[in-house]
Structure 1
Amino acid sequence: RGAWRQRSAVRLDLALDLLTLPLGQLALAIVLLGALALVLSILSPCFIGWAILAAVLALLLACHVLRGWQLSRTGWRALLDLGRAPFFIAWKLAALLRRREQGWVRTERNEAG
């Protein structure tokens, strides 16, 4: 409400940012949509539209990320780092899926003095 009352574009941007999923989750949802649509379109051609939608969404997400890189002026090194992001997301998902519930174990320490 404060962004609307004060006509602050910065506050509005921050408020909208809170409503947006993290890019990793958004990318994962697009990949899952595309994979599911491709599998289903093999079974029935009526799902091809969903595969096209997933491709368009992936292209828009890539444009969004590349525009952010362009505006950040961080150079080619940062672009290479962005290229590694899908591998990081895959690693993170694998780590979350294999995480086991373990109790906290207190580390023994030598008492000084």
Structure 2
Amino acid sequence: MAELIGPRLYSCCNCRNHVSLHDDIISKAFQGRNGRAFLFSHAMNVVTGPKEDRHLMTGLHTVADVYCGDCREVLGWKYEKAYEASQKYKEGKFILEKSKIVRENW
């Protein structure tokens, strides 16, 4: 009997709460606070903190930290606003740090 395979997911490293789909990765070439990070078009089962302006490697952005919806582990941030035209594509997207997420159903 064949097993049903669900979508490839990423989960919180702390509690295994599903936080994003592999298919929602836009880029793996990003830098987080603690190393490599992925840019996702969507995230699920997360909550965002207050918005704040931060000077990142690519300039000034308004961002909000992203927390796991279950255990409140900080997973990355959400780009709320980009001030440079070349960075506008990041608005509404999520950075999830590679060290904070694990693969499921691979």
TM-score exceeds 0.5:
no
Structure number with the higher strand fraction is: 2
Point out the structure with max Rg over C-alpha: 1
Normalised to the residue count of structure 1, the TM-score between the two structures is 0.21
Q: Which has the higher contact order (CA 8 A, sep 6+)?
A: 2
More helix by share: 1
